[in-house]
Structure formats: structure tokens, C-alpha cells
């Protein structure tokens, strides 16, 4: 299980309220499921931006990658396409 950065958790709840707290409770499971889906393992400390976490990872034991998971919000719905 990955650890969420404390500052990220606090600012998410401050900004999003109950919805943010509920999403944060689900976030470790979301991250684990996505890492497993794409055959990745965590490879470093979890980082964050304003609305999401970035998890350094390795794929196939050698390929470096990152997983970014953002709070579901209409403003970032098209972010994966960028």
C-alpha cells in the first residue's frame, strides 16, 4: 500500500470537503489497481501536484514510468488525452 503525502491529503480535503475525503480513502486502492493493471510496481516516493498524485514506477522490472491519478473533476477530464 502506498502512503499519501500529508500535505496533499490536507489540501484536498480543504478544497473538496467530504468528496475529497472519500476520494482520498479510495485512492490507495485505485493506485494499486492501476499499477497491477499495467504490470507496474512502485519505485520511489509518492509525489503530488495540486490535484493529483504521481507514483514513480517500474514496468517489466526495467522500464521507468509514472502513474498520475487526479481528483475527478470536470476541469481535468481531458487530461489523459494530452
Query: What is the pTM (predicted TM-score) of this model?
Result: 0.86
Range of the domain at 55: 6-71
Mean pLDDT calculated for residue range 7-31? 96
In a domain, 28, yes or no: yes
Q: Do 69 and 53 form a contact (C-beta atoms < 8 A)?
A: yes
**Tens of pLDDT, residues 36-81:** 999 999 999 999 999 999 999 999 778 899 999 999 887 777 776 6
78 located within any domain: no
Residue 80 lies in a domain: no
Q: What is the DSSP string of 58-77?
A: EETTTEEEEEEEE---GGGT
> Is there a domain that residue 67 lies in?
yes
Domain count, the chain: 1
Residue 36 lies in a domain: yes
Amino acid at each position: 500500500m502506498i502512503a499519501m503525502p500529508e500535505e496533499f491529503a490536507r489540501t484536498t480535503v480543504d478544497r473538496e470537503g467530504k468528496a475529497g475525503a472519500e476520494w482520498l480513502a479510495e485512492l490507495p486502492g485505485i493506485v494499486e489497481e492501476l499499477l497491477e493493471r499495467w504490470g507496474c510496481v512502485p519505485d520511489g516516493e509518492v509525489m503530488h501536484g495540486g490535484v493529483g498524485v504521481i507514483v514513480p514506477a517500474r514496468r517489466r522490472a526495467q522500464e521507468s514510468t509514472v502513474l498520475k491519478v487526479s481528483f475527478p473533476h470536470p476541469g481535468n477530464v481531458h487530461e489523459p488525452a494530452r
